[in-house]
Amino acid sequence: MAEHSVVGEDLVTVGRITTVYGVRGWVKVHSFTEPMDNILQFSRWWLAAAGQSSEQGQGAGGTANWQPLEIDQGKRHGKGLIVHIKGVDDRDLAAQFCQRDIAIDGSEMPQLDEGEYYWHQLQGLQVVSQFEGREFRFGEVVRLMETGANDVMVVRGGDDGRERLIPYLPGEYITSVDLKAGQITVDWDPEF
């Protein structure tokens, strides 16, 4: 499973420009891709409007609140990534691009094997438990988090309004994912 979030009808957030690097227009990038430098393989980046987060961009109708961004160089640097924005050779000019989300067209994302999903595909799905022959509605996946051992779905709402952390372990706790129906079926005790 890979982490990304949907920002519009066609765009998926894959990272964020965090701060400037040096004095010649380079910026640091926090990548949500695995491995992190996979973000450099996408041919066209979109940058969120200043002051807009990816959550504000949802439902924006594709690229309405996004501007195209051309990168002419990018590389690993220490534990992170740095990129050079085409035509930007000044630190002050580069600062205008900081603290903004980076998105790509969803059609550029690699196809996954059957039964594998990107995080953005699971967010917003309804979670239903089929525990010991009873059905219980847990609510919707509000986000996913990486714990090291496995990914965990944060599920909120549902029949009792509680927030639950459910390990994303297909074949163990996750019995089915139906993207068309918008539902994940789990084998999870409602008492947890």
pLDDT tens by residue, 2-57:
454 444 457 888 999 999 999 999 999 999 888 888 899 887 899 998 776 554 33
Entry pTM: 0.65
pLDDT digits 0-9 by tens, 142-176:
988 888 788 899 999 887 888 999 999 998 999 99
Instruction: Supply the pLDDT for residue 52.
Output: 65
Residue whose entry in the numeric block shows the structure tokens 């998105």: 103
Q: Measured in Å, how far apart are the chain's first and last C-alpha atoms?
A: 24
* Domains along the chain with CATH numbers: 5-108 (2.40.30.60), 121-186 (2.30.30.240)
Instruction: Supply the pLDDT for residue 60.
Output: 36
